[in-house]
Structure formats: C-alpha cells, structure tokens
Structure 1
Amino acid sequence: MRIRAADDDRDWPQIFPFFSRIVEDGETYAYPDGMTADTARSLWMEPPPGQTVVAVRGDQVVGSAKMGPNRPGRGAHVATASFMVDAAHQGTGVGRALGSYAVEWARAAGYHGMQFNAVVETNSVAVRLWLSLGFEILATVPEAFDHPRFGLVGLHVMYQKF
C-alpha cells in the first residue's frame, strides 16, 4: 500500500462510492445525507495549504484522508484531518497508515499540533487508533451527535501536541 496526493479527476470517482456509503451509514460523520458527487467533492478535496491523499493498493483507492489548518487566521498553527477507509479494507492497516501520514505531514509542515474536533465516542476503532498514535481526549461534548443506532452520543475533541 502506498499513500500519495489525491488527483481530483483520477481518484475522486474511486473515493466517492465509499465516501457516500460512510456518510449514509451515519455512524461517524455529520455530513448531510444525499450529497451529490460535486458537493461531496468540495467538502473532501482539500485546497492548499491542506491536501487530500489516497491510500492505494495496486490501482485501487482503499482509503483517503484530508488535512490542513484546523481554523483560519489565528488558529492556523494547529492542523486537523479527516479519514475514510473503504469498508472492504477496514482492519487492514489503511487507517493507521493514513493517520501516521497525516501526523507526519502536519509535523513537517510546521504545525504545533493536530486537533480532531468531532470523533464520535462510539467509533471505538477510531478512538483506539488515535490514542495509539499519541492523541488524547481533551473533552467530550455530550449528546452532540445523533447516531442512527445509539441515539444521542458524545463527540470527543482529541489533540496531539508536536
């Protein structure tokens, strides 16, 4: 598996199907249901100074991440990132590879840390992964996410200082 910068024309057609399924499942992202490919693309394909990357096995895109400044202006010294892995490739190290890449990218770009604003507390796989990569849970906003199976659950704010 390799991670490389995403090419909008070549990679988006492979990202959008798993992006759509993950959003429609409603368990990990607060994006609206029923987005068109163009609307989703504008949310996922990160412009500079950020970037979007893909994890590729052979010619197949198996996951993607976007990263960049968490906030503009006076908050731009802290990075953020979002991750999606095709369900057919979950549990195979794609998320860890993308997470490690994002952390190293942010360090190399001179960010002072990385903040995840909204990690759904019931997403135990992601929470364990981020903790193992050096993040800590700073706070949990109670009942901030409407989960389709569990109802109102918390969103963790997670952070790693560089």
Structure 2
Amino acid sequence: MLIREAAAEDWPRIWPFWHRIVAAAETYAWDPDTSQEEARALWMGPAKRVYVAEDATGTVVGSAYLTPNHGGPAAGVANAGFMVDPDHGGQGIGRALAGHLLTEAKAHGYHAMVFNAVVETNPAVHLWTSLGFTIVGTIPEAFDHPRHGRVGLHVMYKALD
C-alpha cells in the first residue's frame, strides 16, 4: 500500500466512499445529504493536508486529512479525519493511515492530536485506543444513530511528545 499526499484529481476517487460513509450516518457527524461540492470543501479544504492510500493496483482505498484543531495559541493540537472504503475494510488501511498521520503531525510540529466527535459505537474507537488515544469526555446522546438511537460522541486525545 502506498500512502501519499492527495492531489486535486484524487477527489473523484475519494467521493464515492466518502459519500457512502457519510450517507450511512453511522460514524460521521456530517449531514448525510452533503453535496459533492460541500464534501470536497469539508475534506480537501485549504487548511488541510490530505492523504490517500492506494492499493497495489493504484485504487484509492482510503483517505485522511490533518489540520489544526483550532488556530492561534491552540494551533499546536492537530485534528484529523479518516475514511476507508468499506469494500476494503479489515485490511489494516485505517491503522496504516493513522500511523502515517501521527508521524506527519509530529513532523509538522503538533504536540497532540484530538478527535472532537467520535461516535461511541464507531468500531474505530478500538483502533484509536490501541494507538494510545484516551477518551477524555463523552457528550451523552449527542448523535442520532440510525440503528442505535441516541448515542454519545467521544472526545479523544493523544499526546505526540
């Protein structure tokens, strides 16, 4: 698998799984009806470093972004988003992207990373905790899950120093 910085022309290869994941409304707190144009701005905005994971055939099987969580004096804490094409799940792509972004975050001067809204039923919670993230708080019943009803949103944190 190759992980590289995304180029503008990668968006049409990211959009199909981005749309599928967000439309399912199970793991991201973005509007399931987000248009392709809005999605591109959310995922590939100018403040973000975006990466793609390609398999041996050159197929984009996942993507992630790295961005400051806030600006000014809080700009030393990174935020990130990760998506793996559901057709390619269970192959270690999410773990590889996470490792890559943790290394990139440290290389770009961030001292910590935070996820602000991890749906507590998201299987990725286990990945993040296995990589050293801790749940520093949970906002109860903040996410209307299509199968589980109202569930919490975790705030997860990892020091990079």
Please list, as runs of the form range in 1=range in 2, the aligned pairs for 1:8-157 lying within 5 A after superposition: 8-9=8-9, 11-48=10-47, 50-57=48-55, 58-123=57-122, 125-157=123-155
Gaps in structure 1 of 5+ consecutive residues: none
Distance in 2 (alpha carbons) for counterparts of 1:88 and 1:7: 22
TM-score normalised by structure 2 residue count: 0.95
Structure 2 unaligned runs (5+)? Answer: none
1:59 positional shift: 1.4
Tell me the CA shift for residue 114 of structure 1.
Answer: 0.3
- Deviation per CA, 1:75-130: give whole Å up to 9, x if none: 1110010001000111000000011111111111111100010111001x201100
- How far does residue 73 in structure 1 lie from its aligned partner after superposition? 1.4
TM-score, L = length of structure 1? 0.95
Q: State the alpha-carbon separation in 1 of the partners of residues 16 and 33 from structure 2.
A: 12
AA partner of residue 8 (structure 2): D
Deviations 1:3-48 (A, max 9, x none): 0001112x11110000000011000011112222111100001424
Number of corresponding residues:
159
Q: Can you list the C-alpha shifts for 1:115-147, whole angstroms capped at 9, x where unaligned?
A: 010111001x20110011111111111011110
